[in-house]
Amino acid sequence: MTTLSALLHPDAFLSPLAIDAATLRALDEDLGRAGDITSIATIPEDAKARAIMVARHAGVIAGLPLAFATLHRLAGDIEIAAHCRDGAQVEEGTHLLTIAGPARAILAAERTALNFVGRLSGIATLTADYVRRTAGTDLRICCTRKTTPGLRALEKYAVRCGGGFNHRFGLDDAILIKDNHIAVAGGIRPVLERARAHAGHLVTIEIEVDTLAQLREVLDTGLADVVLLDNMDIPTLSEAVTIAQGRVVLEASGGVTLESIAKIAATGVDYVSSGALTHSAPNFDIALDIEV
């Protein structure tokens, strides 16, 4: 028998508390007040079923622990055997899980379980597409805070499953100074000085710049850890790398597509961030083939 933790990606964290909360909420909205009235009406109480969760196309899987928890919430006596775990690269037709137990419970959990795996595998797969195109370089792909409201921890986990990295999980993770902050504080040096004065020693400071002149100004202060190069074209990014000489970590954002990513990697920036990884990943098509 597989356990929930054996389905988690070995190097990415997803809290058991988050799994509990997410599956409770999702089942609650699907069961409503009267539950799966179709199965109650048509399937005998003691009918057993066997189901196989199958990938309908190639990609990277994420979300199996949520499927596991969803199924177990509806019946204590469900048995799940795993054929892969989160982070696995699969082909069309790959079996993910084999499930055996009460037919009504499996049918009631089906859609919720698939919704989790479909959404998170979609994100993992898109992330892996980006990562694959930068193979052999040091570029790291990371997501942003443009996540589905209420699902951030899950979606950030899916990005890790796809081989990506995470930017801030929230506003409190790091300081990220943008144009408004610079304007109010009266310039790049004063804003960085205020940030340093306020921040403790475990808080990283990143600042967004639009021009190479701004980049130079940041470098002169020696007060930033990371510089976000916003919407710069490829030649400008290359020049930024030359200017920075490794004194700060460089992150590029804007105009990141599957087409442009290899070129961005070639400039030598350290990180690329893209909101599309989480907010516009297409669903991964997963099926549950059930035999009652």
Q: Which residues are catalytic?
A: 111, 146, 178, 208, 230
Angle, helices 103-132 vs 16-31, to 10°: value is 120
**Is the CA virtual torsion 212, 213, 215, 216 positive or negative?**
positive
**Of 182 and 232, CB closest to its own copies:** 182
Please tell me whether residue 35 adopts helix, strand or coil conformation.
coil
With binding defined as CB under 8 A, does residue 240 bind its own copies?
A: no
Nearer to its own copies, 235 or 259 (CB): 259
Cα 37 → chain centroid: 34
Selected from 12, 52, 223, 243, the binder of its own copies by CB under 8 A is 12
The torsion of the CA quartet 147, 149, 150, 153, rounded to 10 degrees, works out to: 10
Q: Is 201 in the site for its own copies (CB under 8 A)?
A: yes
Cβ 165 to its own copies shortest distance, Å: 4
Is there binding between residue 208 and its own copies (CB under 8 A)? no
Cβ pair 141, 165 in contact under 8 A:
yes
Question: In this complex, which beta carbon is closest to its own copies, that of residue 25 or of residue 247?
Answer: 25
Q: Which of residues 51-110 bind its own copies (CB under 8 A)?
A: 66, 73-77, 102-103, 107-108
Q: What is the sign, positive or negative, of the torsion defined by CA atoms of 233, 235, 240, 246?
A: positive
Give residues 258-277 in contact with its own copies (rule: CB under 8 A). Answer: 270-271, 275-276
The reply on whether position 247 binds its own copies by CB under 8 A is: no
Instruction: Provide, rounded to whole angstroms, the least separation between the CB of residue 127 and its own copies.
Output: 13
